[in-house]
Amino acid sequence: MKIKQDVFGEESLTLSDLYGSIAYIYYETGKFDLAKKYFTKNIHSVKKLLEQNFSFLSEEEKSAYLNSVLYYTDRFKEFVLDAGQNDPDITIMAYENELLMKGVLLRSVNSMKQTVLNGNNSELVKKYYEWVDIRQQLASLYR
């Protein structure tokens, strides 16, 4: 871990992934206190990286970034379901993390919407509204 800190820096996706991997190993081996320590480092690192970098990424880069982050977020959810009833702090951390991820996605969608609607491309605006209609139809099928 020290080598990765020195090479990539304290606030890097590589180090964040390492924290998530270590946390999951500790979780799988029943060492919940150590798992909590490293999941906490992973979550805080991801939060910092999102705040610093997400607005500058392209849509494709955002998608790739979220996919890499979501792997460890899902492992953290497993951990919370297993250990959360004994530790309310991690339940709160999981809730706050979910709100963060939903907020990031909502801001990204709103940004895309504003870019499309404020642009001069009428064909793109038309496609956007078609996409919204299809999404609403799909949502009604799930109800």
Tell me what the mean pLDDT of segment 123-140 comes to.
89
Which pLDDT does position 100 carry in this prediction?
83
SS3 letters for the chain?
CHHHHHHHCCCCHHHHHHHHHHHHHHHHCCCHHHHHHHHHHHHHHHHHHHHHHHHHCCHHHHHHHHHHHHHHHHHHHHHHHHHHHHCHHHHHHHHHHHHHHHHHHHHHHHHHHHHHHHCCCHHHHHHHHHHHHHHHHHHHHHC
5-9, 29-33, 70-74, 99-103: lowest mean pLDDT where?
Answer: 5-9
16-20, 53-57, 66-70, 114-118: lowest mean pLDDT where?
Answer: 53-57
pTM of the entire structure?
0.70
pLDDT digits (tens, 9 = 90+) for 13-33: 778 888 999 999 999 999 999
pLDDT of 11 strictly over 90: no
